[in-house]
Structure 1
Amino acid sequence: MSLDAGLYPVPEGHLAAVVTHLETTAVAVPDSPFPDDVSIERDLPSVERYRALFRAIGAPWLWTSRLKLSDSKLAEILSDQDVEVWLLRRHGIDIGVVELDFRVAGECELAFFGLIPTETGGGLGKAMMSFAQKRGFSRPIKRFHLHTCTLDSPKAVPFYLASGLRPTRRQVEIFEDPRLAGYLGEDTAPQHPLIET
């Protein structure tokens, strides 16, 4: 599909984001250990616990994909042997997630990666990315990849580039505003103003 350069209307009640896909074909970051008071453990959290952490991390960036799934569909994904959910904990409290998806043969998708807002900016991201890439390439894969978008933190793409991932393609995603659909509160992510329908 080819579009002429220019501006295009976004349907009422929807948002638009530019999605950037990035990848690496080998571990591209040096070892970076976690602080002594932070652990990372593979877990099979309940749907409720997973969604609570997903909201805590992703609400500022309008993450909603896992909020829209039925309980049974989300439980099916989380319990898949080729999906690894790794939870970061500080003093026993969930503070972050590294979710690796190996369901496509020869690939590892970093499906979800993030920290609760009070934990960002302290250097944990480097340890998380080091862990994610090493864990990804511990299986026989040829590609470790992820995608992010313009609704995410403005620090996301620079961080991924500094982590040795290279951009491969872009897409435009248009989707229903999750605040109007009731998945998130109307006061969520004020940096993306809500346009009432």
Structure 2
Amino acid sequence: MTEPVTIFYLEMLSADQVCGKESSSSQAVLTECADKNFAINRFFYQYVGESWQWHDKLSWRESQWRDYAHRDELKLFMLTWHGTPAGYFELEKHTDGSVEIVYFGLANAYTDKGLGGFLLTQALQQAWAWQATRVWVHTCSLDHPYALKNYQSRGMTLYKTEVE
């Protein structure tokens, strides 16, 4: 029997709510991937998601990835650590002006470097810089054990919980 999965929905209603965390090293560098290239989105989805059971898009064809990643409503940011890809996040702007953190995470080899709070701070700041009316995300009980705590520590509040 499969154990139930709890989905947590969190939001932030003002940029003033961001409880930022700085990087512990100048070797953590965030870069916006402004040149749309679906292969980069696909790479990070697989690279980061393999540890967290991200399977939904693994069977996507190249055209599906291109349609998804090459939209103006989607932004991709990557985190490098000592020049090596370590994590990423994707932001999606919705028609109501809200910005969703669609994907967020670190590759398994980088989860013990104290980068999660820094990366989430960057995601929130970039979302608000995109003139968000609200920033939101959902995570689940299959995610990293500190994921929910990280979202809440950065100032996001839980507004809905579901069990599947």
The normalised TM-score by structure 1 is 0.73
Runs of 5+ unmatched residues, structure 1: 1-8, 174-197
The structure-2 alpha-carbon separation of the partners of 1:127 and 1:20, relative to structure 1 and needing over 3 Å to count, comes to: same
Match of residue 122, structure 2, among 103, 106, 131: 131
Amino acid of the structure 1 residue aligned with 2:85: D
Runs of 5+ unmatched residues, structure 2: none
Q: Report sequence identity in percent.
A: 22
Match of residue 25, structure 2, among 22, 35, 56: 35
Match of residue 167, structure 1, among 146, 152, 158: 158
For residue 22 of structure 1, report the CA deviation from its aligned partner.
0.4
Identify the residue that residue 193 of structure 1 maps to in structure 2: none
The normalised TM-score by structure 2 is 0.86
Amino acid of the structure 1 residue aligned with 2:105: G
Assess if the C-alpha contact under 8 Å between 1:83 and 1:103 holds in 2.
no
What RMSD over aligned residues (CA atoms) do the two structures have, in Å? 2.1
- Which stretch has the larger CA shift, 43-52 or 134-143? 43-52
Amino acid of the structure 2 residue aligned with 1:123: G
Assess if the C-alpha contact under 8 Å between 1:38 and 1:89 holds in 2.
yes
Assess if the C-alpha contact under 8 Å between 2:24 and 2:114 holds in 1.
no
- In 2: Cα distance, 1:107 partner to 1:147 partner: 14
For residue 62 of structure 1, report the CA deviation from its aligned partner.
0.3
SS at match of 1:157: helix
Match of residue 140, structure 2, among 142, 149, 167: 149
Matches within 5 A, 1:23-172: 23-27=11-15, 28-30=18-20, 32-33=22-23, 35-43=25-33, 44=35, 46-172=37-163
Identify the residue that residue 21 of structure 1 maps to in structure 2: 9
The structure-2 alpha-carbon separation of the partners of 1:66 and 1:45, relative to structure 1 and needing over 3 Å to count, comes to: farther
For residue 97 of structure 1, report the CA deviation from its aligned partner.
0.4
Structure with bigger gyration radius? 1
Q: Deviations over 1:6-38 (max 9, x none)?
A: xxx76xxxx742111000112322352473222
The structure-2 alpha-carbon separation of the partners of 1:152 and 1:172, relative to structure 1 and needing over 3 Å to count, comes to: same
Q: Deviations over 1:56-92 (max 9, x none)?
A: 2111210122223332122122111111000112343
The structure-2 alpha-carbon separation of the partners of 1:17 and 1:68, relative to structure 1 and needing over 3 Å to count, comes to: farther
- In 2: Cα distance, 1:110 partner to 1:136 partner: 8
- In 2: Cα distance, 1:139 partner to 1:151 partner: 29
